[in-house]
Amino acid sequence: MSSPHSLDAIFKPSSIAVIGASPRRGTIGHELLDNLIRYGFNGMVFPVNPKHKFIKSIKCHPTVSSIVDPVDLAIIIVPKEHVLGVAEECGERGVKGLVIISAGFREVGGEGVKREKALLALKEKYGFRIVGPNCMGVINAEENVRMNATFAPLEPKSGSMAFMTQSGALGVAILLAVARLDLGLSYFVSVGNKLDIAGNDLLEYWDKDENTKIIALYLESFGEPRRFTQLSKKITKRKPIILVKSGTTAAGARAASSHTGHLAGLEIAVDALLHQCGVIRVSTIQEMMDVVLAFSKNPMPRGGRIGVLTNAGGPAIMATDRLVNEDLALATLSDKTQTKLRSFLPEESSVRNPVDMIASAGADEYGRALDIMLADDAVDAVIAIFVPPIMVEPGEVVKKITEATRKYDKPVFSVVMAEEKFYEEIPRRFKDAPPVYRFPESAVRALAAMDRQRKWVEQPEGQVKTFEPEDPSVRGMVKEAVASGGGYMPPDQVNRILASYGFPVCRLRFLPADGDVLQATADVGYPLVLKVFGRNITHKSDIGGVVTGIKNQDMLARAHTDMQEKLERAGVSREVEGFLVQEMAQEGKEVIFGMTTDPKFGPVLMFGMGGKYVEIIKDIAFRVMPVTDIDAREMVRSIKSYPLLEGVRGDERVDIEFIEESIQRLAQMVSDWPEILELDMNPVMVTPDRSACRVVDARIRISSGEELPGR
Ligand code: ADP
Ligand code: MG
């Protein structure tokens, strides 16, 4: 890093004051100071504590002001009542970074919240940066810094993985797991209450850090999802970001009166966002370890064709099933490869992928077979599974696997089902072995994560298409709707907004409940559709409120009378605000476009198979903003029914480009108008011919102005 960064004061200090250092073993003030010294911090360390003349043979200062040398970083471990005083003194003294371990802030509420606000004011006044409060410290394992300012009982190895955790307790667990796997760290940061420095700052910092090749995050909440999106979209193209997200998004009361609102669960926005940013999401710390192990020990795969090598059938079948589920393919081994394998393997073995060498295979067979498989151009990666028979020592097999792997630049995932003792020995015994997993599913998960990263890096960056609304007068209409308390817009207004953004709406006449429907047919034309309208009527067809295929006046009059009777019987007459006479659309595939607003993530767009059964079939996909052309493309292709749109059983392909464009038009519309809280277009009839596609039913809910999320 060339130009100095404000986080350098935290991560690359020349001198550190440990305020609240203690000679008493087992206290944080002792363990942290001890870690700094034992880890070999490449700079000066000043214990600060008025009660002691020296601690661990080092001169101890009564206050930070009494230190003559400059102090870059202060680690604060004093009781909560003293934190503000100490921070003020640090500010006066020109300290540029604070790591506040002390707890008793926002997390305890009441006084703690006030204390945290006061701390923020001090940060503004003095301009120092803060990690914490309520955290377990920071590590920079880079050889020329070697700062372990945590109280974890560990000596992390220097390496290429940067780790951030929002939970201190899990931080210790993560450090232990990293040590057990003998993985190297570049940075470790426990961010605590994230008063100042949070995930986004660290992402930015680590992006520029040459030592950091992998970024792992344990998050409980998103601070600024928008900035996270911008940053991570770029960073993930260069370095994988692996994230465990626990907890749910702000549990803002979600109105579920629309299809989209109903279908969008709390975690939908998070999932969509991470997917769109190329972030690898895992659900447990164990999974995270499986994945970071793979990225640390393996080269990137160049394709998704996988070879499986085994000495037992069961685990290979498991691995193969998982591979297929993860969108990976079993490699087709060349004839040459198969002949070579056949030349030394027993007759009962299978030389087609998965290559099953049967239980008699020993270490040499593993080495030879793996070598042959990796040499095959049709193989991008190999999963080598070994279930130890009585006579074979798993260590010998790992040795041979390592030798073969080293000759090629391809990832290998070994699965060894052995005794506990064996795994403990791996880091020391097999330094440059490919990653070893206990179960096939862990290996496949890690492989799938690497493959996803490969695809993400290869995929071009998408473009956000812009569309100008055609009819600027709709702006006044939306503003008026907000002014009059928001809620669902009448259908003719919905039509105008949609048409203005280029959606093909149906010709429509809206009549009050006592209006004469027969008078309304002139500008619509036969065949037509008669529908009931009421803001509180969500599913019109459920109560007999939709009649399609009306060909003439007689039919219309009859349909109208019948409908009124049915509505009466259903007991909804009082909800009826009017009737719609609507152009009848050509038959097509019914799809849904929707939008709902997440209190934190903003608009969430939905696309899927539409019609009456959306909630039951749930074949839908979500995206958050911004939505690029690539997102739109992927969104359409990600639903299960996509082949129906491509055309099956003699059906013609519908205009898929129309669908993609509609998603982007919708994105433009909702980003232009934050006043739109929820929207459903269900169904939109899509046909092979774009000019026949129609939005046949749409609802738009406008904000009353109060629930407007800060966009
Ligand atoms: P709701 O969703 O409230 O029950 P819709 O307006 O979506 O009512 O109508 C229900 C179904 O009727 C649609 O899924 C569609 O199959 C059919 N339909 C409605 N309007 C039209 C139209 N204008 N042209 C063709 N089919 C229509
Ligand atoms: Mg509908």
Protein residue with its CA nearest to atom 14 in ligand 1: 611
Query: Is pLDDT of 707 > 80?
Result: no
Report the distance separating Cα 605 and Cα 509, nearest Å.
Answer: 29
Q: Whose CA is nearest to atom 20 of ligand 1?
A: 696
Rounded CA gap, 563 and 582, in Å? 15
The packing angle between helices 225-235 and 268-276, to 10°, is 30
Q: Bigger pLDDT: 393 or 39?
A: 39
Residues with Cβ within 8 Å of residue 425, at least 6 apart in sequence = 395
Please give the single-letter amino acid code of residue 605: L
Q: Which atom of ligand 1 is nearest to 531's Cα? A: 6
Identity (one letter) of the amino acid at 294?
A: A
pLDDT at 460 over 60: yes
Whole-number pLDDT of residue 471: 84
- Asked if pLDDT for residue 261 goes beyond 80, the answer is no
Query: What atom of ligand 1 comes closest to residue 582's alpha carbon?
Result: 23
CA pair distance 244, 561, nearest whole angstrom = 58
Q: Are 84 and 119 in contact (CB under 8 A)?
A: yes
pLDDT for residue 260:
65
Predicted local confidence at residue 262, as pLDDT:
67
pLDDT band at 391 (very low <50, low <70, confident <90, very high): confident
Pocket test for ligand 1, best of 505, 531, 541, 680 (most atoms within 8 A of CB): 541
| CA separation, residue 664 to residues 230, 445, 455 (Å) | 19, 33, 23
Give the type of residue at 413: F
Q: How far is the CA of 529 from the centre of ligand 2 (A)?
A: 13
Grade residue 225 by pLDDT with cuts at 50, 70 and 90: confident
Question: Is the pLDDT at 508 greater than 70, yes or no?
Answer: yes
Cα 589 to ligand 1 centroid, rounded to whole Å = 12
8 Å CB contact between 152 and 139: no
Numbers of helices and strands, H then E, in the chain: 23, 31
C-alpha pair distances (Å), 663 with each of 28, 626, 635: 54, 11, 9
Q: State the pLDDT at residue 676.
A: 94
Mean pLDDT of 669-687: 94
The 3-class SS string of 481-520 reads: HHHCCCEECCHHHHHHHHHHCCCCECCEEEEECCCCHHHH
Mean pLDDT, rounded, for 316-324: 94
Q: What is the DSSP letter of 432?
A: T
Residue whose C-alpha is closest to residue 77's, from 122, 27, 125? 27
Number of the ligand 1 atom closest to the C-alpha atom of 611: 14
Q: How confident is the model at residue 75 (pLDDT cuts 50, 70, 90)?
A: very high
Atom of ligand 1 nearest to the CA of 528: 23
Per-residue pLDDT band for 398 (boundaries 50, 70, 90) equals very high
Output the CA 546–ligand 1 centroid distance in Å.
7
pLDDT tens per residue, range 516-561: 888 888 889 999 999 999 988 888 998 999 999 999 999 999 999 9
DSSP 350: B
The model's pLDDT over 190-218, given as tens digits with 9 standing for 90+, comes to 999 999 999 999 999 999 999 999 999 99
- Range of lowest pLDDT (268-272, 352-356, 673-677): 268-272
* DSSP string covering 387-433: ---TT--HHHHHHHHHHHHHTSSS-EEEEE---HHHHHHHHHH-TTP
Note if the bond before 603 is cis, omega within 30 degrees: no
pLDDT at 336: 97
Distance separating alpha carbons of residues 196 and 176, to the nearest angstrom: 27
Q: Supply the residue whose CA is at minimum distance from atom 16 of ligand 1.
A: 611
The per-residue pLDDT for range 238-247, each reduced to its tens digit, is 999 999 987 6
Average of per-residue pLDDT across 627-634: 95
Tokens of 474: 């709709």
For the record, the structure tokens of 481 come out as: 């709707």
494 Cα–ligand 1 center, Å: 16
pLDDT at residue 399 greater than cutoff 90? yes
Q: Residue 134 pLDDT more than 70?
A: yes
High-pLDDT (> 70) share of the chain, %: 96
Cα of 472 to ligand 2 centre, how many Å? 27
Ligand 2 centroid to residue 698 C-alpha, Å = 7
Tell me the average pLDDT across 35-59.
96
- pLDDT grade for 112, boundaries at 50, 70 and 90: very high
Other beta carbons within 10 Å of 39: 20
Residue 711 has pLDDT above 50, yes or no: no
549 Cα–ligand 1 center, Å: 11
Residue list, ligand 1 pocket, CB within 6 Å: 506, 529, 531, 539-541, 546, 548, 582, 584-585, 590, 611-612, 682-683, 696-697
Predicted pLDDT at 708: 54
Tokens 């407007």, residue located: 708
**Given a cut of 50, is residue 250 above it in pLDDT?**
no
Tell whether the model's pLDDT for residue 347 goes beyond 50.
yes
What are the b/e assignments for 63-89, b being 16+ CB within 10 Å? ebeebeeebbbbbbbbebeebeebbeb
pLDDT above 70 (res 153): yes
pTM: predicted TM-score of the whole model, two decimal places: 0.89
- Per-residue pLDDT at 636: 97
256 has a pLDDT exceeding 60: no
Q: Which whole number is the average pLDDT over 592-608?
A: 91
Check residue 253 and give its pLDDT. 36
Whole-number percent of the chain with pLDDT over 90: 78
